[in-house]
Structure 1
Amino acid sequence: MESSFVYILYSRRLDRYYTGVTTLSVVEQIENHIEKKYGKLNFTQKADDWELYHSIKCEGFAQARRIEMHIKKMKSKIYLQNLKSFPEMVDKLLAKYRNN
């Protein structure tokens, strides 16, 4: 099964987070954002100091996408910070959105 990741980037300059999903390695994905490979309409084009804040390895793309959408719906920096601080939150998301 192909690995997929939910990743959360942080820009100090913007003081903003960006959440995405990828089947690439997380390092490769960040490089693509920094090198502005995703076009002018992508939010990450607004800064060039994106760094990996947190990542979640998922069972597959479908699970990763559902977790990404869950995180984005929360619309909360505190929620993102808690995901990093409390690994049990990630475990619950992985269980809730487990591929069947």
Structure 2
Amino acid sequence: MHFAYVIRSKIDNSFYIGRTSDLIARLEFHNSRTKNTGTTRSKIPWDYFYTLEVKDPKIAGKIEKHIKKMKSRTYIHNLRRYPEIARELIKKYS
């Protein structure tokens, strides 16, 4: 399985949106001060805020791109609040 995900920094409540096939390893990477040299390193620690499981990595990528394009904290909160949004995203990008 593959996932589109949103993590939230415990430092400043900022969000990062990504995709992965291994949620555990990916969060460990984001929270690693030695392995992570990217944009999320400065805001460690991170927790998962939202995950959406899909069957195809291409669908996960399209959903990741869609969420990023929205540029909205409200939209991210609504993803968690309203499961029908996820169903529509999967339908749209499948």
Query: TM-score surpassing 0.5?
Result: yes
| Of 61, 66, 75, the match for 2:57 | 61
**Identical aligned pairs, as a percentage?**
31
| Of 14, 17, 20, the match for 1:16 | 14
Question: Equivalents in 1 of 2:9, 2:32: separation in Å?
Answer: 14
- The one-letter code matched in structure 2 to 1:15 is N
Match of 2:89 in 1: 93
- The one-letter code matched in structure 1 to 2:84 is E
Secondary structure, counterpart of 1:43 in structure 2: coil
Q: How far off its partner does 1:59 sit?
A: 1.5
| TM-score under structure 1 length normalisation | 0.87
1:45 corresponds to 2:41: yes
| TM-score under structure 2 length normalisation | 0.93
Structure 2, unpaired ranges of 5+: none
Q: How far off its partner does 1:13 sit?
A: 1.0
* Conserved? CA contact 2:10–2:43, under 8 Å: no
- The one-letter code matched in structure 1 to 2:72 is S
1:28 corresponds to 2:22: no
Give deviations 1:27-79, integer Å, cap 9, x for gaps: 2210111014242xx22111111001010001111000000000000000000
Aligned-residue RMSD, C-alpha:
1.0
Match of 1:83 in 2: 79
